Amino acid sequence: MTDSRFQLFDVSLDGSLQSARAHIERERAIAVHDLLEDSSFIPVGHDGGPYRLNLTLADAKLAFHIVTENGTPVVSHHLSLNAFRRILKDYTLICDSHYDAFKCAGAAKFEAIDMGRRAIHDEASELLKERLASKIAIDVDTARRLFTLIYVLLMRNTSDGARLM
C-alpha cells in the first residue's frame, strides 16, 4: 500500500452525463474504486494530501484539477490529448471488438483480442505517465486507471471523442 499522503481519496469526472453503454460506466466505477483503494499520486513539489482529483475534458484537452482534503488547491494541469489520438482510436476500436467478442466469440478469439486491448492500454498508460511527469508522478497502475477514465470521458462526450479520432 502506498503512503496515504500521496493517494487519491476522491475522483470525479466532469459533468453528470453517463454513457448509454453500461460496460463503459462499469469500467469507470472499477477504475475509480481501484484508484481510491490504491494509487500513487504525487503532485510535484507538494508535501502530501490525500488528494481530490476532478477530470474535465474540453477542446481536446484533459484538465487535472487537484485539491487537498480540506479543499486547498494544489495544481490544475491541462494535458493536450493530441499525442493520444492514435492510441485512443485504436483503443476504442479494440474495446468495441472486445465487448462484442465477450458476448459471442470463442475463448481463443476473446483472449487474442484481450491481449491486444491490454497492450494498447499499456502503451497509453506509459505515454500518460510520461506526459504528466513534470506535474504529477504516478505509478503504472495509477496511469492505467487514469487512462481508463480518459476513455470514459471521451465516450461520454461523443463530439470530442469523435473529433479526436
pLDDT tens digits, 55-110: 998 888 999 999 999 999 999 999 999 999 999 999 888 887 767 666 676 667 76
Q: Band of the pLDDT at 162, cuts 50, 70, 90?
A: very low
> Could you identify the residue written with the cell 504525487?
42
Of 14-18, 70-74, 152-156, the one with minimum mean pLDDT is: 14-18
Region 31-37: mean pLDDT is 96
Question: 129 pLDDT exceeds 80?
Answer: yes
Tally of domains within the chain: 1
User: Helices marked H in the chain — which ranges?
Assistant: 22-37, 85-104, 107-132, 140-156, 158-164
Region 109-130: mean pLDDT is 89
The pLDDT of residue 99 is 72
Taken in order 95, 143, 158, 27, the sign of the CA dihedral is positive
The pLDDT of residue 111 is 79
Q: CA angle at residue 135 from 134 to 136, to 5 degrees?
A: 110
Q: What percent of the chain has pLDDT over 90?
A: 57
CB 68 within 8 A of CB 108: no
CB 13 within 8 A of CB 153: yes
What residue numbers bound the domain in which 160 lies? Answer: 4-164
The pLDDT of residue 69 is 92
* pTM across the whole model: 0.86
Q: Give the number of other Cβ atoms within 10 Å of residue 118's Cβ.
A: 13
CB 115 within 8 A of CB 123: no
Q: Band of the pLDDT at 160, cuts 50, 70, 90?
A: very low
Asked whether the bond before 50 is cis by omega within 30 degrees of 0, the reply is: yes
